[in-house]
Structure 1
Amino acid sequence: MRLFPRTHQLPARLAAGAYILNSGIDMAGADQDTVAGVHGMAAGTYPFLSKQDPARFVGLLSKAQIAVGAALLVPVVPSFVAGAALTAFAGGLVGLYLRTPGMRREGSLRPSQQGIALAKDFWLLGIGLSLMAEEVLDR
């Protein structure tokens, strides 16, 4: 496993990392309405989350986003590790997109107007899978 990312991986790592880090920082200061909305949407899709305290859930989600964003931005984190973290995180978000009613057009994977904000998670999933695949296939 390479310690430093390949040069051509940097744009994808920087773009995804900055986006996720910013989102995590914003979520760290979420107000009660945002906390309730984020928790409600997540619990509606993943019912086991309904047992979690909403503020604690959003706090942990914020920390996870900050950690994944930092892993992508810090060049000493191997691309496979950063890609695995991004893939796991984006996989959960893609599940949210696929399982939440109203996010997609009827009978389609295409996003509805409400789902456009979540559809970008497919890009994040693709970046994570690409980082991992390149490291595996290079061996």
Structure 2
Amino acid sequence: MRFLSRPHQLPPRIAAGLIILNSGLTKRTAGEESAKGLHGMASGTYPFLKDMDSVKFTRLLSTAEITLGTALLVPVVPPLLAGAALTAFAGGLLGLYLKTPGLREEGSLRPSQQGIAIAKDVWLLGIGAGLVVEEIVRD
């Protein structure tokens, strides 16, 4: 397994890393109302989260995003590891998109106006999968 990112991997890692890190830092200071909204949306899609306290959920999500964003920004984190983590994170976001009512046009994968903010995160899945596939094929 390669331990350093190659130069062409840096731009997508930096782009994704900065967005995710910013999201995590923003959630770190989220108020109770914001935490309830985030938790409500997540637990509607992923029922195992229902019993978790909304503030605790938001703090854990914030920590996960800060950790992932940082891992993407630090080029010594192996591309396979960073890519796998990003792919899993993006898969969770796209699960929200696919399972939450009202985010897609009826009978379609096309996003509704409400779903565009989450559907656009498919680029994160592409970056993560690209890192993983490149590392598997090259080694």
Q: TM-score, normalised by structure 2?
A: 0.98
Which residue type is aligned with residue 133 of structure 1?
V
Residues 44-83 of structure 1, C-alpha deviations (whole Å, 9 max, x = no match) = 1111110101110110000000010000000100100000
Q: Structure 1 regions of 5+ residues with no counterpart?
A: none
**1:32, distance to aligned residue in structure 2 (A):** 1.2
Query: What is the root-mean-square deviation in Å for CA atoms of aligned residues?
Result: 0.6
**1:4, distance to aligned residue in structure 2 (A):** 1.0
Q: Structure 2 regions of 5+ residues with no counterpart?
A: none
- Is 1:94 paired with 2:103? no
Q: How does 1:1-139 map to 2 (within 5 A)?
A: 1-139=1-139
Distance 1:136 1:116 in 2: 32
Please state whether the residue corresponding to 1:114 is helix, strand or coil.
helix
Identity of aligned residues (%): 63
Distance 2:51 2:33 in 1: 18
Please state whether the residue corresponding to 2:10 is helix, strand or coil.
helix
Distance 2:93 2:59 in 1: 17
Which residue type is aligned with residue 72 of structure 1?
L
Residues 4-40 of structure 1, C-alpha deviations (whole Å, 9 max, x = no match) = 1111111100000000000000000001111010000
Q: TM-score, normalised by structure 1?
A: 0.98
**1:2, distance to aligned residue in structure 2 (A):** 1.3
